[in-house]
Every structure is written in C-alpha cells, then in structure tokens.
Amino acid sequence: MSEATEEILEHLAAISFVAGRDAREALPAVAPLGEEASLRFLETGRDLFFYDREAGKAFFHATANMVAAFAGLDPWLEQSRQFLTQRGTFRAVVGFFAQAATVRKSWGAEGEALWFKLGAAWIDRHVDSAAAYFRMPVATLFGDNGTTGLTALLQPADSLAKGRLGLGTYLDGAIKVRGICGLDGVAEWARRGADVLAAGRIRGEAWFRLESDEARSFLLEVLPGFRMGTHKRLFGLLLQAWTGLHLPLEEGDWSLEGGRSFLETDGRSLFVPAVMPDREEALLAFYHTGAHLAYDSYEQDAIHALFAEIGMEHPPLDPDQRITWRPLFAQFGEDLIRFQMIFDLCEDLRVDVALDREMPGYISRVVRAARKHGLPEGVAAAYYEQAQRYLEDYQQGRLSPDLADLTRSEAGIVDAFRVAMALYATTTLPPLTLTERARAYLPGHSPNAARPVYPRQKHGSDGPEVEGDSALGAAGHQEKPKETPQAAEGNDPDMEIPPEDIQGTGGRVGVGIPLPAKVAGSGRGVKGPKGGWPYREWDYRHQQYKMDWARVHERKLREKDEAKAIEIAAEYDGTLRRLKRALQAQKPTRMSPRRRQYEGEEPDLEAAVQFLIEKRAGRSPKASVYLQRRPQQRDTAVLLLADLSTSIMAEAGDSGVRVVDRLRAAMLLFGEALLEVGDPFAVYGFASKYHDEVLMYPIKRFTDRFDARARALLGGLSGRLATRMGAAIRHSSKLMLRSPAQRRLLLILSDGRPADYDDGGDARYLQEDTRMAVREALELGIHAFCISLDPQGGEYLPQVFGQGHYLVLPHLDSLPARLPEVYLRLRGHG
C-alpha cells in the first residue's frame, strides 16, 4: 500500500470512524487493479464522503459488486463523480450505486452508459428528478425493450421539463401507460399531455398522474383489448347468477403489473380493470374470482383457521377492519412471493374444481384460454405451466393424491395451505419477482391476496328466506348504521345545510352517528301544525306503538342549482331521449279503452246491450255505456321519496362519484319521464334528527308543476342528517291519500338502513318501525317499493318491504337510467 493511499485512509478515519472502516473494507476488491487505480478509487470515495456521508457509504458498500460487474473501475468511477457537481444529489447517488451493477450485468456496457447518461442529464436541471430516475427500479424502468425502450420512454421527458414537469411524476405515469398500451401509447399520451400542461399546471399534473378524467378517457381510447366498462352490468349479472352474490363492481387500478390487468376483490366489492385481453378472459376472471368468494377463500372462520395454522389466534385487522395477509407469508422472508405463488396454485386449483362441478366445462375453458395465451417468458413460465398442468391432470383424473385431496367438495382454504406447505418443501419452482409473478397466472387468475379483505360470512348459510311476518333475522342489527361519524368541522356535509336548520355544535351518541345540534326555534316549516305532524312509531321491544312519537315537519329546500340541473340534463341527453322514445312507442297501447264509462267517444257495445236488457227486465241500470280512450289508462299516482341523509354525500368506493351526483340525475330523469307519461306525481326528500325532527322536503308536490324551480332544487340537492324512514312513509301516505288515483305507489330511494341519532344503536328498532309503516300504507291502498343502493340491502329489505317490493342496484352509475325504467315496469305498460 502506497503512502498516498495510506494517507487518504487515515484522513478518512480521522473524519469518521465509519468512513475509515468502510474504505478499508472496500479496498481489497480494488487493490488487484493496481496502485494507481486504488488511489483513484480512494480519492473519489473521499470526495463523495465529504460531499455527503450517505453517498460515501453507498460508494464503499457497492464497491465489490461494482468492480465485479464492470471488471474494473470504468466508467462507473467517473460517472459517480458527476453527482458531485450539484448540491443535494445524494439520493440520486445512492440510487445509482444500488443499481448500476445490475444495469451493467443485464444490459451491458452500452446499456449502462445510456442509463447513466439519461439520468445524469437531470443532475443540473432538477436534482429531485435525477433522484427519482436513479431510484426507479431498473427492471421497471427498462421494461421489456432494453435500451431502445428506455430511450423511447425518456424521449418526451425533455420537452416536458420545459413545462416544469418533474421526471418523477412523468415516469410514474409513463410506466403505467407503457404497461397499458405500449411505448407508442406513451408517446401519444405525452404529446397530448404537453398540451394539457400548457393549458394549466394543475390539470397537467393530474393528467400525468393519471388522476383526471381526461387522462382516463384518453387511455380508454387508445387501449387495446376488451373494454370492461361497458360490460360491467353483464359481468355483475353473471356473477350473481353463478354465485348468488350481488356485489358492487368498482373501478380497479390503472397500474398494470407486468402488462396484465387483474380483477381483484376485497371481499365486498370487485375491482374491475379498464380492459382485459378479451371477452373470454374477462368472463373467466369473473367466474374465478366469483369462485373464491363462493367457496370461502375469504370466509371469516376459514381465515381464522388459516392464521391458526401459523400460530396466530387473530388475523391482524387494518383500521377498516380488513384482514391483512402479510403475516401469513412473512415467515418466508425473501421467499415470500414464491410461497404466495405456490399457495395460490393450490387454492386456485381448489376453487376451480369446485366451480367446475357447478359450471360444466369451466376448467376446459380455462385450459383452452391458457393454451391460446401461451407460456410467458422467463421464470413465470414454470408456474404458468404448473397451474395449467394441474388443471389438465384434474381433467384426466391424474392428480397426485395430495392435490386430489383439494378436489373434495369439503376441502377448504386451510387444506390448500397445508398442501402448499408440503409442496413448498419439495418443489423446484424458481424464485420470482413481482413483475414475473404477474405473468405467472393463468388467464382469469390473479393474486388471491392482492388486497386486504373484509371477511365474509359463510356462503349459503343465510338459510331460507323468511316471510314478511317473521321478526328480523340476526343480520338485521349486527351492522353499524350507515352514517359514519363525521369529522367535527370542515368536511361535515351536515354543515352544508342552511344555518337556520341547525345551530351550535353537536356531541356524539354511542352509535357513532354524529349528534346534531338542537334545532333553534320551530314553526319554520312550510306549513302544518305547530310542532309538526305527529305520527306513531312502532316499538318492537314492547310490541306496541309509541303514540305521536315522531314529528314530521315540511321544510323548503333552500339550495337551488339550475346550472347543475342543465348540466345533468345535457350529460344524460342520450338516456333521456331513449327513454322518451320508448315511452312514445308505448303510447298506442296505453290508449287502450276504458270500458263502462258514463261518457266517452264511442259506445261500449257490450255495456250498451247489458243496459238495454236490464232496462227491459224492468230494472234501472246505470248508463255507463261508453268507451273512453285516454292516455292514462292505468291511473297511477306516484310519490318519489328520496333519502337525503348524510351518507349520500359519500363517494362510491374511490370512484370520485358521490351518491348524490347520481341521485340528482336519477330524480331529474324520473321527473322528465313522468312528464312524458302524464301520471300524477310528487317528489319529496327526507331526513331526520331525533324522533321529533323528521324533515320532509317537498321538491314537487302533486299540485306543483315540474318546472325550472323543481329542476333547480334537484340540481342543488345535498345530504344531511339521518334516516327515520317510518315517519317519512307515514307522512307520504297521508299526502298520497289526497291525490285521486286508483293505484298509489310510494317509491322510496335509499342508500342504507333506516337509522337515527336516538335509535340507541339498535338498527332493528327503526327497521321494525319502517316495516310497520309499510304495512300501514298497504292497508291504505298505498304500495311501497324501495330502490336501494345498499349492496347489503338483501339482508333487511325483504323483511321491511316484503319479497318483490324492493330492488337493489349495486351499480350507482345505473341509477339514473334505471329509476324511471323501474317505475314504468312497476306501473305496468298499456
């Protein structure tokens, strides 16, 4: 060791113990390259260390690896000096040292030079961008197309930098876009993004983050493959048919792993990707995921048993009460993905076989799709082939005995886990990365533990349906009321209601519904008795009514938004026109005659004959001998009663669409359709806070016209307070009795269970009262029908409204078109 070398080492040690030690430890890898090289090496290390401690440490730690990968110091030593030219580049350097050796090994000297050059260009320009670049995992960055791919990916970034778009933002988006629609797609996306960026910075960033609607619709435009959006309802229907499950379908992630998009579930909803390769694969994905749900991959007891297998009594829950899977795989450390993959192989085999028993030919379809798709490249192939072979072996009855064990109909996920453990001990399946894992699944299959899940109740344990009379089942009061606690101020939707309705701040009651402030003053109602209209309420605990317990007040809605109403009308122009056309097409049948009228356009022959005969027989028959042709043959009156409680302000999933947005549209379309039909109708909203403040908001009374005012009220609709549905139904019944009609329909639109602040957390209480209110209405000749957006509606709506008197619409987006349609169907055509 030369004096110069020793001097630097001592210098380093004097500065920092760590520096000295690390340098000494790194030196042996460099020493064989000669004295001059060692000196150069140490000088650079020292400079880096003085520049930034972390950079220096990373340098010494990476040395052995780098020397081996590059077979020397060139060019990486020089490259690393470039980071010294700017302040604050240490994060970039650390990324560089962590990855350069891999780049050199995977993409050669040329690839490494390119990788460095493209990133180094940003050192002067924008340090954070350089850091984002060098820290980006290189396998992700290069993708499948090597150096040309990298060049192409980065190509648009330069000009975007002039629009002050950071490379980090660009890369995150660009890599997703590349995964979705290839490098050509990236170029086009970036070109349009530049225009958007020029138009406004925030809008532009949202585009590049793929957060804006315009970015999403762009992707949909250029995306190859089968578009899922327009077929969601079909998939939902098929899922329901095959599994009996009625789950909401939500928009899945845009990010694709390894160029594939997966259908995922959290046990409550399905997350649907924007596109899938083709219709068959999409169908298989729904069937396969449906099989996991139907055959208890996410069932509570099974999951508990599964965690018990690894000695955990309770699976860990996240703040949303979802089960997180990690601990199950944690014991495998580095080999986690590999074990998880093997477990998926076994569990997928189990549920596929179970489904195949119900759905003839299902496994053949998967095998056919798997062959068509072909083996993926790389290590993923081993898993893909294995999964395919399991299915083929099953078809031919050749499964090994341990696997065959999984094909018993009683086999559960715990059995799959045990088989997986045994397999893991003996298999030669190779380790794999996340990107490779994505390619390893058969068509329609996907990581089973992709998301934390809400554990499900045992499938098929709900037993036979109970008729209206019986008490509510256990399901009736387990769940928390739909209103979730609101933050005190700021984003509390209750605060949006006009100040005169509520004053002061509220506390909280046990249930978790925010306690509203007391109402100041009374008599601000539209009209009606002082203190509101009194109604009785059913108390199931005492099996008797509490007389005059609920008080209903009619209030005016104050917020109007005409512009919004117009905007909605424009948005739903197509739907509205289709609706009107359908109604007009129905008109001729609806003109069918009403017989035995006292007046009319033409004689009713049969009635006239009867009249004459009875007259001759010496009786005095009524002279109802005419036929009328009137458009309103059915003579139905309808009152639409919408639940305006707080929960409608919530977003549906993370779709960015609030319930209220679709509610407004639905109610507007309903109004327009009713105008066309000509039936007498009224539209009311309701909310409540305590039994003595049930609020009814007339939007259009029977006697009002459906005009700009009513539309503006609908445009400005917002949520507030809770849902005391029984009282609202009783009041609506009273209103309906005043309208002259043969048939009266009370159409209730809701998104959850009846609940109020003073129900003491007993969900059953107001449900039972609502059930009684529905029966009372029926005795008055008023038929109640509930359209609910609550996916759990099937648990209580049959008891409350009766079999066939409710409809669950788990797809919020379908509400606007469906509401008028459901009404027309209920009313009956011609």
Partner 1 sequence: MSEMIIQEPFYQPVANEVGVFMAAWSRRLPVMLKGPTGCGKTRFLEHMAWRLKRPLITVACHEDLTSSDLVGRFLIEGDATVWQDGPLTKAVREGAICYLDEIVEARTDTTVVIHPLTDHRRHLPIEKLGTEISAHPDFMLVISYNPGYQTVLKDLKPSTKQRFVGMNFTYPPAEVETRIVMKEAGLDESRSKALVAAADKARNLKDQGLQEVTSTRALIYAGALMVAGLESLEACTMAIINPQTDDPELSEALLEIFRTFFPER
The nearer residue to partner 1, 458 or 615, going by C-beta atoms, is 615
Q: Does 436 bind Mg ion (CB under 5 A)?
A: no
- Print the binding letters for residues 392-431 with Mg ion: x by CB under 5 A, - otherwise: ----------------------------------------
- If contact means CB under 5 to 8 A according to the sort of partner, which of partner 1, Mg ion, none does residue 41 touch? none
Q: Does 803 bind partner 1 (CB under 8 A)?
A: yes
Q: Does 99 bind Mg ion (CB under 5 A)?
A: no
Which residue from 805, 812, 815, 816 is in contact with partner 1, where contact means CB under 8 A?
805
Distance CA 396, CA 81 (A): 63
Q: Does 775 bind partner 1 (CB under 8 A)?
A: yes
Q: Does 595 bind partner 1 (CB under 8 A)?
A: yes
In the complex, the smallest distance separating the C-beta of residue 810 from Mg ion, rounded to whole angstroms, is 22
In the complex, the smallest distance separating the C-beta of residue 751 from partner 1, rounded to whole angstroms, is 16
Outline where 637-704 has alpha helix (H): 659-677
- Per DSSP, the chain holds a count of helices (H) and strands (E) of 32, 16
Binding part of the chain for partner 1, among 252-260, 268-276, 681-689, 781-789 by CB under 8 A, reads 781-789
Distance CA 343, CA 92 (A): 38
Lookup: tokens for 98: 């962590």
Phi, psi of 447 (to 5 degrees): -60, 125
Binding part of the chain for partner 1, among 20-28, 405-413, 516-524, 819-827 by CB under 8 A, reads 819-827
Binding part of the chain for partner 1, among 440-448, 452-460, 719-727, 741-749 by CB under 8 A, reads 741-749
Count of C-beta atoms within a 10 Å radius of residue 202: 9
SS3 per residue for 763-782: HHHHHHHHHHHHHHHHHCCE
Distance CA 360, CA 394 (A): 14
In the complex, the smallest distance separating the C-beta of residue 783 from partner 1, rounded to whole angstroms, is 5
Compute how many residues bind partner 1; rule: CB under 8 A.
49
507: helix, strand or coil: coil
In the complex, the smallest distance separating the C-beta of residue 767 from partner 1, rounded to whole angstroms, is 19
Distance CA 173, CA 132 (A): 13
- If contact means CB under 5 to 8 A according to the sort of partner, which of Mg ion, partner 1, none does residue 116 touch? none
Q: Does 542 bind partner 1 (CB under 8 A)?
A: no
The nearer residue to partner 1, 334 or 779, going by C-beta atoms, is 779
Q: Does 336 bind partner 1 (CB under 8 A)?
A: no
Binding part of the chain for Mg ion, among 344-352, 358-366, 428-436, 816-824 by CB under 5 A, reads 344-352
Output DSSP code: residue 200.
-
Question: Apex CA 242: angle with CA 241 and CA 243, to 5°?
Answer: 100
Compute how many residues bind Mg ion; rule: CB under 5 A.
3
In the complex, the smallest distance separating the C-beta of residue 254 from Mg ion, rounded to whole angstroms, is 21
In the complex, the smallest distance separating the C-beta of residue 248 from Mg ion, rounded to whole angstroms, is 20
Pairing of strands 681-688, 636-643: parallel
* Residue whose token pair is 């329901």: 240
Which residue from 448, 645, 646, 688 is in contact with Mg ion, where contact means CB under 5 A?
448
Order the strands of the 681-688 sheet from edge to edge.
533-539, 544-554, 694-700, 681-688, 636-643, 743-750, 782-788, 806-808
Count of C-beta atoms within a 10 Å radius of residue 84: 17
Residues 225-284 that bind Mg ion (CB under 5 A): none
Which residue from 110, 377, 602, 614 is in contact with partner 1, where contact means CB under 8 A?
614
Q: Does 636 bind partner 1 (CB under 8 A)?
A: yes
- Print the binding letters for residues 252-291 with partner 1: x by CB under 8 A, - otherwise: -------------------------------x--------
Q: Does 619 bind partner 1 (CB under 8 A)?
A: yes
**Neighbouring residues of 788: CB distance < 8 A, sequence distance ≥ 6:** 750, 751, 752, 797, 806, 807, 808, 809
Distance CA 435, CA 140 (A): 8
Query: b/e string for 101-131 if b means 16 or more Cβ within 10 A?
Result: bbbbebbeeebbbbbbebbbbbbeebbebbb
Distance CA 220, CA 235 (A): 19
Q: Does 244 bind partner 1 (CB under 8 A)?
A: yes
In the complex, the smallest distance separating the C-beta of residue 291 from Mg ion, rounded to whole angstroms, is 8
The nearer residue to partner 1, 636 or 767, going by C-beta atoms, is 636
Q: What is the H or E stretch that residue 190 is in?
A: helix 167-199
- CA quadruple 137, 141, 146, 150: dihedral sign: negative
Which residue from 121, 495, 569, 807 is in contact with partner 1, where contact means CB under 8 A?
807
- If contact means CB under 5 to 8 A according to the sort of partner, which of Mg ion, partner 1, none does residue 421 touch? none
The nearer residue to partner 1, 164 or 233, going by C-beta atoms, is 233
Binding part of the chain for partner 1, among 118-126, 201-209, 219-227, 357-365 by CB under 8 A, reads 357-365
**Neighbouring residues of 408: CB distance < 8 A, sequence distance ≥ 6:** none
Distance CA 131, CA 259 (A): 25
Q: Does 745 bind partner 1 (CB under 8 A)?
A: yes
Which residue from 628, 743, 761, 791 is in contact with partner 1, where contact means CB under 8 A?
743
- If contact means CB under 5 to 8 A according to the sort of partner, which of Mg ion, partner 1, none does residue 785 touch? partner 1
In the complex, the smallest distance separating the C-beta of residue 749 from partner 1, rounded to whole angstroms, is 15
Pairing of strands 782-788, 743-750: parallel
Distance CA 640, CA 815 (A): 14
In the complex, the smallest distance separating the C-beta of residue 384 from Mg ion, rounded to whole angstroms, is 13
- If contact means CB under 5 to 8 A according to the sort of partner, which of Mg ion, partner 1, none does residue 803 touch? partner 1
Which residue from 360, 401, 463, 510 is in contact with partner 1, where contact means CB under 8 A?
360
- If contact means CB under 5 to 8 A according to the sort of partner, which of partner 1, Mg ion, none does residue 571 touch? none
- If contact means CB under 5 to 8 A according to the sort of partner, which of partner 1, Mg ion, none does residue 45 touch? none
Residues 61-120 that bind partner 1 (CB under 8 A): none
Which residue from 237, 312, 488, 737 is in contact with partner 1, where contact means CB under 8 A?
237
Binding part of the chain for partner 1, among 108-116, 164-172, 561-569, 816-824 by CB under 8 A, reads 816-824
**Pick from 247, 283, 483: nearest CA to 366:** 283
Outline where 71-166 has alpha helix (H): 76-81, 90-125, 127-135, 138-142, 146-154, 157-162
Order the strands of the 626-628 sheet from edge to edge.
594-597, 626-628, 602-603
**Neighbouring residues of 537: CB distance < 8 A, sequence distance ≥ 6:** 545, 546, 549, 550, 691, 726, 727, 769
Which residue from 52, 266, 281, 348 is in contact with Mg ion, where contact means CB under 5 A?
348
The number of residues making up the chain comes to 830
Q: List C-alpha distances in Å: 160 to 121, 128, 191, 209, 825.
A: 14, 15, 9, 14, 54
Residues forming the site for Mg ion (CB under 5 A):
348, 445, 448
Residues that bind partner 1 (CB under 8 A): 233-234, 237-238, 240-244, 246, 283, 358-362, 595-596, 610, 613-614, 616-617, 619, 636, 742-743, 745, 775, 778-779, 781, 783, 785, 794, 802-808, 818, 821-822, 825-828
